[in-house]
A and B are shown apart, each in its own frame.
Chain A
């Protein structure tokens, strides 16, 4: 029994009309000489659309890339070792990064408001003579606010913690709300994720 007979037999019980159709089946009509010209027309089409093939057309690599790759990789490894950055860097997901940035924005906004409501209590000032230890907390805050993308949430929290401890915390929520409305100092989501950071 050939395959066509198998198929007709398979149909006879479930679909007798379809089985009868199968017996009279013929190939669809095709324009005259269609197949005779198909090879050339297809070849013309694929070359026009797909381009002429070259040995490197599948993946394009810059000239002399592989000749220079070994030296470039080794130089990169040495530079990494010299910088002492042998630890693996794990990039945070976008969602977490956005959350972290917004948390940092909230912390900074909070300290700003609290500082103002505490009659602008002076930030601790270092009495050193030179070097980075001479930076005031205010300078550090300003720098962190302007370059907050370089800092993690924990770093920001650690930095603002001393100021929070010295700040009057007995501020009613309503007072904060009023102040924000007066100063139009409200943060929107887009601001927090783009403008501020």
Chain B
């Protein structure tokens, strides 16, 4: 029987069952959150670092979760912010991905892996906010309304941001 968010929170909020509740949360959401943060970075190790920090923040603050938004929306927002924060730290340290691929190609005869790498390279060129919007929509296939709840941004602004991101990536892919 699948675990509900209510069960997770009830277990977590009781001192004796807190760890059990948190383990249920991990089992339920770890893969989805991993694949979300993985889109922000090139390497698994980076994604793992972001994920561990995300779960640490969740562990420390879940007792304050009021349920205004759904649990996954709340977790996703933390993960997304943690990923952006990680990217900003990397930029400050002058760290840039070293496995960037060249642009200028089309999809004919190209492996899915190579296409993914090319897209990741194009994604790196976006400003952080556009990158976040693009990942939410393109990879995570999230409705604009849910994106609005996570980012505290209007649906119209998100659509405009996504449009800019898509145009820029398309331009890089066709250059």
Contact A21 B35 (CB under 8 A): no
The residues in B between 148 and 175 inclusive whose CB is less than 8 angstroms from any CB of A are 163, 166-167, 169-170, 173-174
Contact B15 A24 (CB under 8 A): no
What residues of chain A lie closer than 8 Å to B19, measured between beta carbons? 43, 47
Tell me if B44 counts as interface (CB < 8 A to partner A). yes
Contact B35 A14 (CB under 8 A): no
Contact B34 A30 (CB under 8 A): yes
Interface size of B in residues (CB-CB distance below 8 Å): 41
Contact A49 B35 (CB under 8 A): no
Picked from A18, A43, A54, A55, the residue with its CB within 8 Å of the CB of B169 is A18
What residues of chain B lie closer than 8 Å to A70, measured between beta carbons? none
The residues in B between 135 and 157 inclusive whose CB is less than 8 angstroms from any CB of A are 137-139, 141, 143
CB contact under 8 A between A3 and B143, given known A18-B166, A20-B107: yes
Contact A14 B170 (CB under 8 A): yes
What residues of chain A lie closer than 8 Å to B44, measured between beta carbons? 28-31, 34
Contact A26 B112 (CB under 8 A): yes
What residues of chain B lie closer than 8 Å to A35, measured between beta carbons? 30-31, 34
Contact A18 B173 (CB under 8 A): yes
The residues in B between 44 and 99 inclusive whose CB is less than 8 angstroms from any CB of A are 44, 48, 51-52, 55-56, 59-60, 63-64
Q: Mark interface residues in B7-48 (1 if CB within 8 Å of A CB, else 0).
A: 000000001001100110011001100110011000010001
Chain A interface, >50% SS class:
helix
Nearest CB of A to B161, in Å: 13
What residues of chain A lie closer than 8 Å to B143, measured between beta carbons? 3
CA distance A24 to B118 in the complex (A): 13
Tell me if B106 counts as interface (CB < 8 A to partner A). yes
CA distance A27 to B139 in the complex (A): 9
Tell me if A143 counts as interface (CB < 8 A to partner B). no
Nearest CB of A to B126, in Å: 13
Contact B59 A17 (CB under 8 A): no
CA distance A124 to B163 in the complex (A): 82
Contact B166 A38 (CB under 8 A): no
Contact B15 A46 (CB under 8 A): no
Contact A46 B59 (CB under 8 A): yes
What residues of chain A lie closer than 8 Å to B137, measured between beta carbons? 7
Contact B138 A7 (CB under 8 A): yes
CA distance A11 to B56 in the complex (A): 36
Nearest CB of A to B162, in Å: 9
Q: Mark interface residues in A98-139 (1 if CB within 8 Å of B CB, else 0).
A: 000000000000000000000000000000000000000000
What residues of chain B lie closer than 8 Å to A18, measured between beta carbons? 119, 138, 166, 169-170, 173
Picked from B18, B51, B138, the residue with its CB within 8 Å of the CB of A53 is B18
Q: Mark interface residues in A1-44 (1 if CB within 8 Å of B CB, else 0).
A: 00110010001001111101110111111110011001101110
12 pairs from A and B in contact (CB 8 Å cutoff): A14-B166, A17-B170, A20-B107, A21-B107, A25-B116, A28-B38, A30-B44, A31-B44, A39-B26, A45-B52, A46-B56, A54-B15
Q: Which chain B residues have a beta carbon within 8 Å of chain A's beta carbons?
A: 15, 18-19, 22-23, 26-27, 30-31, 34-35, 38-39, 44, 48, 51-52, 55-56, 59-60, 63-64, 106-107, 112, 115-116, 119, 137-139, 141, 143, 163, 166-167, 169-170, 173-174
Q: Which chain A residues have a beta carbon within 8 Å of chain B's beta carbons?
A: 3-4, 7, 11, 14-18, 20-22, 24-31, 34-35, 38-39, 41-43, 45-47, 49-50, 53-55, 58
